[in-house]
Amino acid sequence: MKNTVSRRSFVKQVGAAGIAAGISGISIKAAETKPASDPATEKIRNYKPTMAYRTIGTTGIAASVFSLGAGNIKVDVLSAAIGMGVNFIHTSFHYMNGQSLDMVGKAISGKTDKIYIALKDDFPSIEEALKVLGVTSIDFLMFNRHNAGDLKKELPSIKEKFIAWRGKGLVKFAGLTVHKDTAAVLDVAADAGFFTCVMPAYPPKQVEELAAQRDKLRQKNISILAMKSKGELNADDYVAHIPKVLADKTVSTIIKGVGSLDDLKAWSAAAVSAKTGLLHRIMNGYETAAYHGCAMCGRCEQECPAGIATSDIMRCIRYYHDSERLPQMAASEFRAMGLAQAALRCDGCGKCEAACPQDLGIIDDIKRAQSTLA
């Protein structure tokens, strides 16, 4: 019989063990595995025995298993997460209409020695980005690429740019972000001999579909930093899904935007539990509902004869607008990428829907995005 466990009841059940010291007063006993007196823990930034950590590739850097994406974040949530032992934040010059870097900079002021920063390469000036963040170097420079062919062509210039910045002490490690043409892009990244980590869109369907890429990345000692892992799951099903994402240790951390302290507590508790095995005992017999959301695979866009950025439209309307309930962010992204004009080119041929592994009504979603977000 299916055992439906809500976020509230899950946090209640783990409350005896505890997590999130300083917020909920509970803590999962990760310390039993790695006690605070262990010299290895002294090398972990912002180490807390109530948080679990995993090494990213060959970097020697141990990231908290639950980390923050700053596309939608509040200073109080950032500060609370740091208090819980979170030590990794991913941000971008374009997040939150350009306010994300400033917000992250304020949240980590005086605490830069506790945090690793991953930054997309979409800034006009790396020196200005460093100044706003209040750091002297970027720990992980994330090259934002979404087409395997283009990535292959760009690799020499990407490497040249990174090596120049590293020589100046402005960056430390190279990573890659991708949310369409994902499998092919990850294959190129794995063979490049350059990236220490990759950050793919990683909703439930991709956990299943990227098995071959995970194997390849694991062999090359390249870590996955999983973003958009919630996909279109509801909050309770996401709690159950988090340990599935972390079941393969190729995944070093989940990167997730968090809008409330309740979500921070529930989601980080699930992530820490994935290491201790506690979640599986509590959730014995629990089954996540079949996933009917967008796979973020990009096949719809690959088949579009009009060259419409279909996967970007789907991400704006289904993920940001519907699932994350961030209408302003959805509209901002939609407009910034020029998707309103692109959507008008759709003639309803249906090739995108024929390619979709989730049988989604993509044409209707394109129309809905146009009327809702434009």
pLDDT tens profile 217-270: 999 999 999 999 999 998 888 998 898 888 888 999 999 999 899 999 999 999
In the chain, the percentage of residues whose pLDDT exceeds 90 is: 67
**CA 43/CA 62 separation, integer angstroms:** 8
Residue 42 has pLDDT above 60, yes or no: yes
Which 3 state secondary structure label does DSSP give 63?
A: strand
- Beta-bridged to residue 225, according to DSSP, are 253
**Cα(326)–Cα(230) distance, rounded to whole angstroms?**
14
Which are the contacts of 44, defined by CB distance < 8 A and separation ≥ 6?
53, 62, 87
Q: Give the chain's largest Cα–Cα span.
A: 64
Q: What is the set of domains in the chain, with CATH numbers?
A: 7-282 (3.20.20.100), 299-373 (no CATH)
H or E stretch at 91: strand 88-91
Backbone φ, ψ for residue 274 (5° rounding): -60, -30
Interval 353-373 mean pLDDT: 95
Which tokens belong to 89? 């934040």
pLDDT at 282: 44
Which residues are registered as beta bridge partners of 313?
none
Q: Three-state SS string across 292-343, please?
A: CCCCCCCHHHHCCCCCCCHHHHHHHHHHHHHHCCCHHHHHHHHHHCCHHHHH
Closest CA to 56 of 191, 173, 194, 207: 173
Q: What are the helix and strand counts (H, E) for the chain? A: 18, 10
Q: Using CA atoms, how far apart are residues 132 and 117, in angstroms rounded to an integer?
A: 13
Helix (H, G, I), strand (E, B) or coil at 262: helix
Angle made by CA atoms 328, 96, 233, in degrees to the nearest 5: 60
Per residue in 74-108, is it b (16+ CB within 10 Å) or e — as a string? eeebbebbbbbbbbbbbbbbbbbeeebbebbbebb
Is the pLDDT score of 26 beyond 80? no
Q: Rounded to two decimals, what is the model's pTM? A: 0.85
| Window from 4-13, 154-163, 205-214 with minimum mean pLDDT | 4-13
Residues 309-343 have pLDDT tens digits of: 999 999 999 999 999 998 988 998 899 889 999 99
- The DSSP letter of residue 351 is H
- What does DSSP say about strands 171-178 and 138-144: parallel, antiparallel, or unpaired? parallel
Mean pLDDT of the chain: 86
